[in-house]
C-alpha cells in the first residue's frame, strides 16, 4: 500500500509576477530558485529550507480573490513554519499589508498574497 509522505510544493496562480515577487521576496524574504525549468509561461519557484517549494504561475485564475473571509483561518490556506514572526508582522505593517492574528492564542498570523492566496505563518522555536 502507498502512503503519503510529505508536501513537495504548493502552486499559486498570480496575476502580476512583479507584484507577487515584491511580496514573496520583499516581505517574506524568499529567493528565486534558478535551477527550476522554464515551463513555457511566466512564473517563479522558491525553495524553503526544508526542501518544499512554492511555485507561482502567471495563468488565468478561475478563483476570485475578492469576497473571501476576512480572517484567513476561515478560508483554505497553506501553513508555513517560520522564525521571526514579529519581524514579518512589522514588514507587513510597514508595507500596508493587512493580516490577522491566530484566534487560537498561539504565535501565528494569516496573510494573503496580492492574489488572495492565504498563508498561515506559525512561529517555531529553533
Over residues 23-60, the pLDDT tens digits come to 999 999 999 999 987 888 899 999 999 899 999 999 88
Domain presence at residue 60? yes
Q: Collect all residues with Cβ–Cβ distance below 8 Å to 80 and sequence separation of at least 6.
A: 48, 119, 120, 121, 122
Band the pLDDT of 4: cuts 50, 70, 90.
low
- Kindly state the DSSP code that residue 27 receives in the 8-state scheme: I
Supply the range of the domain harboring residue 90: 9-123
The mean of the pLDDT values for the chain is 90
Supply the pLDDT for residue 57: 93
Q: What count of Cα atoms within 13 Å lies in the side-chain half-sphere of residue 112?
A: 20
Domain presence at residue 3? no
Domain presence at residue 4? no
Count: domains in the chain: 1
Supply the pLDDT for residue 5: 75
Domain presence at residue 102? yes
Band the pLDDT of 64: cuts 50, 70, 90.
confident
Spell 30-64 as b/e; 16+ CB within 10 A means b: beeeeeeeeeeeebbbbbeeeeeebbbbeeeeeee
Amino acid at each position: 500500500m502507498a502512503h503519503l509522505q510529505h508536501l513537495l510544493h504548493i502552486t499559486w496562480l498570480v496575476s502580476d509576477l512583479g507584484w507577487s515577487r515584491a511580496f514573496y521576496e520583499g516581505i517574506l524574504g524568499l529567493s528565486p530558485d534558478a535551477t527550476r525549468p522554464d515551463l513555457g509561461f511566466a512564473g517563479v519557484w522558491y525553495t524553503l529550507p526544508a526542501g518544499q517549494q512554492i511555485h507561482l504561475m502567471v495563468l488565468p485564475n478561475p478563483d476570485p480573490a475578492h469576497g473571501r473571509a476576512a480572517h484567513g483561518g476561515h478560508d483554505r490556506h497553506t501553513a508555513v513554519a517560520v522564525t521571526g514572526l514579529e519581524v514579518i508582522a512589522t514588514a507587513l505593517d510597514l508595507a500596508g499589508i493587512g493580516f490577522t492574528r491566530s484566534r487560537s492564542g498561539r504565535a501565528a498570523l494569516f496573510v494573503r498574497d496580492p492574489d488572495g492566496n492565504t498563508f498561515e505563518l506559525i512561529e517555531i522555536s529553533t
